[in-house]
Every structure is written in C-alpha cells, then in structure tokens.
Structure 1
Amino acid sequence: MHAEIVGTTLPVLEIRLDPGDDLVAEPAQLSWMRGPVRLNTKMMTAGAGGILGVFGRALAGGGLFMTEFTVEGGPGEVAFAARVPGTIHAVGVEPGHGMLIHRNGFLCATGGVELGIGFQQSLGAGIFGGNGFVLQRLTGRCTAWVELGGETVVKDLAPGEQIFVHPGHVGMFEERVGFEITTVPGVRNMLFGGDGLFLAVLTGPGRVWLQTLTLPGLAHALAPYFPQPPR
C-alpha cells in the first residue's frame, strides 16, 4: 500500500492498493478509483462486533454502513477528497495508543481500525447545529487518515500542562491527553443562551492537533450569500 496526499487547500488522498491490502471508509467518501478495486459495504466492520457497536459508530459521526476496499488480480487506486478546505493527516494507531478526533474527521483507515464514540456532550442548540459535541475514537491497529479544517496547529503538552480551546477547534488528540468541557464565566454569548463560554480543557502529556476552520464558522460566514426564504 502506498498513500499520497495531493493538493493544498482542498487536498485529496490517493492510495494504491496491492493484493492483500484492505481499506475501510464511509460509502459516500470515495471520490474516484481505477483498476480491479472491489467494494464490500456492510455494517459489521471497523470494530463493530454487534448492533450496539454499529450505533455507537453512527453516533460518533460514522455511518451505519462502512465500505471495505480490496483489489483482485493486480494493483488498484482509490481516492478520497477533502470535504472542506483543510489538511489530511496520516496517524498510526496501536493498542494503548488510540486517537480522538472531531466527528467529521475520519477519512479512511487500513483494516484493523476500530471506530466508535469517544465523547459526547450537549452544548446547547446554538452550537454544532444542536447536535451537541461529539468526538470519534480511533483504536485497534491501523494507519488512519484524518481530515482537519483549515490550517493545523500542533501542540505538545507536558505532564499537567493545559490548553483551553473552543470545542470546534479541537481537531484530534492522543487518547492519553485528559479532556473535559468547562464553562468560562464572564463572557456573554447569545448562542449559548446565557452567561459563560464553553471551552474544552486538554491536559497533558500528549499531542494535540488544533484546526483553524470549524464547520459552524464556515456556515456562518456563507449564510449571508444563501437565498433567503420569502417572508
């Protein structure tokens, strides 16, 4: 297997598959393919051994169904384009060294990935479209590719060191990093319906990847250009 990330603002991940290689992604994520690529879409994959695992994966932002990609008789190629302007990162996942990523971050992974829900909390109707704040959990043994919005800023936290981040800018972090949501008083934010601003608190040791573009922020910037319904 050979992977290459092509492009800058809207990158695409191209992966060459050889016989014996396998890859897992959401069914709608495929952008193009060539060669003898075989697709097998099913529920019980990506670590889901039962219906509870399937629904947990779906709640985390994955699909009820996932597609496995293999090739027969020769090499093939599959490609996955970024959904928003940003960056694509390859991360190694091993037992005891999992990753937590934002709910729209999973692009694809090699066989052996286990995808589930890592964190969920309601933050009010004004943020994330009322869906609450959700993190996906990547475990197992695999190489995974994660999509982050905008530019990426990496922070290495020392033991006990903390960083306070708007939840939408949390892109990805090592599972060993402590994580919680807190409210910072003294900042009135009408989106949250009262005093206080929700921030994520990440505590080291470990590495944190922050994304500069959030989907709610992008939607807010584009909203004035959308046709308005008649009054």
Structure 2
Amino acid sequence: MQTRIAGTTMPILEVTLSPGEHLIAEGGDVSWLTPGFGMETSTRFGSGGKGGFLSGLKRALGGGQLFLTDYTAPPQGGFVAFSAQLPGSIRELRIDRADNFMVQSGAYMCSTPDVEISVGLQKKLGAGIFGGAGVIFQRLSGDGTAWVQLAGEIVEYDLAAGQSMLIHPGHLALFRAEMPLEFASVKGIKNKFFGDSLLLAQVQGPGHIWLQSMTPAKLAAAIEPYLPEKPSSTSFGNDS
C-alpha cells in the first residue's frame, strides 16, 4: 500500500493498493478510483475485525456512519482517492495498542481493515458553543493506519506530565487517547449572543495534541450572510 497527498488548500488523498489489499472508508466519500475494485458495504467494517451491528451503532453515536465500505483492489491493483471536505490538511496516523487517538467527528477519512472506529467522547456544551449539538470525538484504535482531515492551519504541541492547555473545543482536532480531557467554564467570559459561560476543553499531559485554526461551525457562520435566502412559501388559489 502506497499513499500520496496532493494539493494544498483542499488536498487529495490517493491510496494505491496491491492486488487483494483492502481499504475501509465511509460510504460515498470516495472521489475517484481506477476500474475493477470490489466494493462491499456493511456495519462490521471499521470494527477492527471485532463485532458487527453494535460496533456500527457505536460508530454512528460517535458522529460517523453506521455503514462503511470495503474497497478491495483488483488483480492488477489500483488506487482510490478521497478529497478533503474543508480547507486544511490530511494526516496519516499509525495506530497500535500503544498509540490510540481521539479525533473530532467528521475528520476520519479512511483506514486499513484492522483499525477500529468508535465513539470516544460526547459532551453537550450548550447553544452558545455548538448550537446545542455539543462536541463529539471518535476513538481510533486497533492495529493499522488511518487518515484524517484537519481544518485550516495545524499547530502541534507536546505537553509534558503536569502540563495542561485550555482550548476552544472546536479547535481541538486530534489528541492521544490516553490524555485526560475535561471541560471547564471560564468565569467572567459570557457568550455575546446566548449568555452562556465560555466552556473550554482542558487537556492534560503527557501527550501530543493537534490544534486546527478553522472550525466547521465558524466557517458556516462566516459564509452564511452570503448564501441566497430561501424562497418563502407561496400559497396558490383565488383571493377572496
């Protein structure tokens, strides 16, 4: 298996597979591929070879899809390509028993068959932060390789034992799963629209964290004023 990441602002992940090799991805996320690939969709994929429907249900609760697709390379081999959904970058993660990761919901792109994708953390943070939807992290575990898409520019930090950092939850893109994570209300700071106290994620070292400069919520808020207004409903019939 060989990979190539092409592009800059909206990168492409191209994965070249040898005959018979497998790659797991969420259904419908593939952008293009060479002919001959076998494709099978099931709930059992993405569970690291352990479990079926219940594993898929846990994945769905973590913000992922219930069904994943297995792409099997044909006898001559071939490649599949995935496009980033937001401006940013694509990172490769090597996963084993000692290296598990927590990634923001929606960041997972694809993985080798023995990687398990499950719900890692769900937190209701109130309307002032995420429109009432809260924040969800998926856990990547098992044994293999996964690729994730992170939004905007990426800044990485190594936190030593005893060190911690306060982060807006939307900017915490990826962190090592063994790092403790709590949510703290910052006193004296009020949300200008909803009056909620500002809640920040507090990550404790030791471990590595990846922070993203862009969040989907802030991007949506930035472009919303430029979107065409939805047409109002029109009633038909004769006026009396």
1:156 CA displacement: 0.6
Residue matched to 1:119: 121
Moved more, 213-222 or 54-63: 54-63
Q: How does 1:54-203 map to 2 (within 5 A)?
A: 54-191=56-193, 193-203=194-204
* Mapped partners of 1:95, 1:120: distance in 2: 23
1:22 CA displacement: 1.1
1:194 CA displacement: 2.8
Residue matched to 1:204: 205
- Amino acid in the other structure paired with 1:149: A
* Mapped partners of 1:50, 1:34: distance in 2: 29
* Mapped partners of 1:230, 1:28: distance in 2: 30
* Mapped partners of 1:106, 1:229: distance in 2: 32
Q: Percent identity?
A: 42
* Mapped partners of 1:68, 1:175: distance in 2: 26
Helix, strand or coil for the counterpart of 1:198? strand
Helix, strand or coil for the counterpart of 2:162? coil
Of structures 1 and 2, the larger Rg is shown by 2
Deviations 1:68-90 (A, max 9, x none): 11112111110000001000000
* Mapped partners of 1:181, 1:200: distance in 2: 5
* Mapped partners of 1:65, 1:129: distance in 2: 27
* Mapped partners of 1:29, 1:60: distance in 2: 17
Deviations 1:134-161 (A, max 9, x none): 0000000011001000011000110111
* Mapped partners of 1:33, 1:64: distance in 2: 23
1:172 CA displacement: 0.3
In structure 2, the gaps of 5 or more residues are: 233-240
Helix, strand or coil for the counterpart of 2:24? strand
- Amino acid in the other structure paired with 1:105: A
Residue matched to 2:223: 222
Deviations 1:42-78 (A, max 9, x none): 1111116143321110121211110011112111110
* Mapped partners of 1:229, 1:72: distance in 2: 46
* Mapped partners of 1:160, 1:228: distance in 2: 50
How many residues are treated as equivalent by the alignment?
A: 230
Conservation of the 8 A alpha-carbon contact between 1:186 and 1:195? no
Moved more, 213-222 or 127-136: 127-136
Moved more, 45-54 or 129-138: 45-54
Helix, strand or coil for the counterpart of 2:126? coil
- Amino acid in the other structure paired with 1:209: W
Q: Runs in 1 of length 4+ with deviation above 6 angstroms?
A: none
1:230 CA displacement: 6.0
Give the root-mean-square deviation of aligned CA atoms: 1.4
Q: Taking structure 1 as the reference length, what is the TM-score of the superposition?
A: 0.95
* Mapped partners of 2:197, 2:187: distance in 1: 4
Conservation of the 8 A alpha-carbon contact between 2:20 and 2:77? no
- Amino acid in the other structure paired with 1:87: S
Helix, strand or coil for the counterpart of 1:127? helix
Q: Taking structure 2 as the reference length, what is the TM-score of the superposition?
A: 0.92
